[in-house]
Amino acid sequence: MLVKDPVRVCRHAALAAAMLGASLSASAAPTISRLTPPSELFSLGVQAPGTPVTSRFLAGQRFDIQATVRPSAGNTVTQVEFFVDGVSLGAITPTSTGNGSLVTTGLVAGLPANSAVVSYRGYSNLTPGVHTLTAVATEGGTSTSGASVDGNFEVVGLTAQGRPVKNIIIMLGDGMGAAHRTAGRIMAKGYAQGKAQGRLAMDTFPFTGLVMTASLDTIITDSAPGMANYVNGNKANSGQEGVWPDDTTAVFDNPRIEYLAEYLHRTKGTSLGIVTTADVFDATPAANAVHTGDRGQGSGIVDQYLDESVGSAGLSVLLGGGRKWFLPNSTNAIQPVSGAYNATNGSQRRTSSDYVLPSDIVAGWGLPASAVGALDNNRDLITDFTTAGFAYAPDKTSLVSVGPASTKLLGLFSFSNMNVAYDKINGRRGASTVVNDYGFPDQPMLDEMTDVALQVLSKNTNGFILMAEGASIDKQAHLMDSDRWMLEVLEFDRAVQKAQEFAAANPDTLVIVTADHECAGAAIIGASTKTPAQLLTLAQGTDHTAATQRDGVVGNYQAAGFPKYTIGSDGYPGLSGTVATDITGKVLIGYGANADRYETWLTNPQPTQDSQQPFVAIGTSNPNPNLSSYPGNPNVRNSSSTNTAGTTASGASGHVGVFITGQTSLTSAGNQAAHTAADVPLSAYGRGSYQFTGTYDNTDVFFKFAQAAKGVAR
């Protein structure tokens, strides 16, 4: 059994010399092709002066160490030994148990025969500074030889500077760049004679900086590492949450990094709350507590919330959509069968998206038996949550009635992503059937969820972390549905105000507002020179050329003027009835990372189909058949004079827009606009907020949080 803190010591220099001699005496030697944590020292063979150390940790923060070893032809890996600054962590062999493992099966294609992935789980280091990580591999078979490689990592030392922050609130506007914020301000507050007539709540935060958002593998991140980098301090590959990439095919065995919520729960007893307008399995919410190499593993992700995150991160509040993962599915199938939906309750649970953890993770991270997982498609996860002491709210009415009195709260308000603010507000005003078509007419707004979450979490005298996400700023920007994402910004900002009010009343609280990345390259290009009636006439006419429907509509510079929306008492455009985003001189949005679309400049009466909804595209057997008539994607929305069903649907009967050629297209996601590499604004309020100025990496935010939790000057 591998010992976590071995007493035997071997100096790396002497060992490397011995391995070099062994390699020279043999005809071949093994190759170490991956060493984790990632480092420039390993990848390039040198840590260039002035370049940042790739992997950084808090003192005592846990992480996994791993190497991929490729033996020479005819040989097998017999042992791997990891050293930190020359101190051995113990030898790992094919028979090792406990927190060490040497795995030769289930590896990715392309590796030589007998390759091995070797792991040491749950390591931590208390000494600040840059440390050398050495992996020494030995092979046996037709010859005996060895190989040694170096990497490095840094432990960041923090010193208490004053009073600690007790509560951390992360307000995450998914995909929200500077233009998204500005457009929301123009709509909500208006301008006159060049000056904004008011500020969004996020505009009033006293400190603002710019965040660089790249992930480990690309300058343009997706939401999984975009969120996780903020809350574990380390870069990850796109699509991965709380882990580094590895060379196994299993997606729940990747080398882990401890999240901020896990670290603070372990060291201070804090709680964690996750609130989102998306499906709770989605990348941003999951990247606060779940460890997986594939953000799409819905059944395993939601199971991990209960089986592990409640204990490891103090998860106490989970609110959003995603009921489809929590419902039992006895058939283990999700496709229509003979024209009828096989799982009639909307369940998407399948064994193929579930998880079982390997024993070395369980041992190394000290997890209980309940965290091991199981391939249990027929699990009733809602019942399991309530058995574990969570109150359950299926709608807004129950959220506000049972939520505030709870100490643990689960709320699931739709099958998958919740309806967007535009459609929820229209439903509340009695002016839309969209929420009825989706089957969930009584959904809460994000500010209502955030308010209840704060009431629940503040009962923990040790403090809490809350992540509240405005998810569909991103989702509607992907779809280039400008009016809908602007309403999402307004809904998000109302939640920001709730967080700000809480911090004002509880001065040991830090609040930040930021994004995981920018989406679509959104730009405010001007304002409409036509009235809504004139735009409708153009959309119903026969001339859809650029000269008529673009050049004759888009007012730039002085022609843009100052759009003026009327805002109702509920905080959204229009005093009653349908949300009034079609006004004379309405804000017009262009996109730098756009896909092909047809643009009428009018509000789309129906949202584009959401492929994550279980019943959305199965025709008349759909319990909510109207969904199948919604526009299939932006490439067909407003594309024809008839409103036919499915993927050829137009935005509204008789509405045709000018064709705008895209510069990119996420065709696999339904002809969508893409994320960009633009820096995103971060604004901060409350204790420790002064740290968040300048331009910094997203991983730096983690260490600013940690400094705040340790103690800040003001």
DSSP state of 115: -
Find how far residue 317's CA is from the centre of its chain.
Answer: 17
Confidence band, pLDDT 50/70/90 cuts, at residue 644: very low
Structure tokens at 168: 């951390």
Over the stretch 502-560, which tens digit does the pLDDT of each residue have? 999 999 999 999 999 999 999 999 999 999 999 999 999 999 999 999 999 999 999 99
User: Could you tell me which of 96, 38, 126, 100 has the C-alpha nearest to residue 362?
Assistant: 100
- Distances in Å between the alpha carbon of 459 and those of 133, 148, 455, 463, 584? 42, 51, 7, 8, 48
Which pLDDT does position 645 carry in this prediction?
33
Q: In terms of C-beta density within 10 A (0-12 exposed, 13-18 middle, 19 or more buried), how is residue 276 classed?
A: buried
Helix-, strand-, coil-residue percentages of the chain, each rounded to 5? 30, 25, 45
Over the stretch 477-505, which tens digit does the pLDDT of each residue have? 999 999 999 999 999 999 999 999 999 99
User: Could you tell me which of 484, 514, 508, 482 has the C-alpha nearest to residue 496?
Assistant: 514
- Which residue spans within 288-398 are E strands per DSSP? 315-321, 336-337, 340-341, 391-393
Q: Maximum CA pair distance of the chain?
A: 85
**218-222, 258-262, 571-575, 643-647: the lowest-pLDDT one:** 643-647
Mean pLDDT rounded to a whole number for the chain? 91
346 or 652, which is more confident? 346
Tell me: pLDDT of 342 over 80.
no
Asked whether 48 and 1 are in contact (CB, 8 A), the reply is no
**Sequence-separated (6 or more) residues with CB below 8 Å from residue 712:** 161, 162, 163, 164, 165, 687, 688, 690, 691
What are the structural domains of the chain?
12-156 (2.60.40.10), 172-521 (3.40.720.10)
Q: In terms of C-beta density within 10 A (0-12 exposed, 13-18 middle, 19 or more buried), how is residue 146 classed?
A: buried
Please tell me whether the overall predicted TM-score, pTM, comes out greater than 0.75 for this model.
Answer: yes
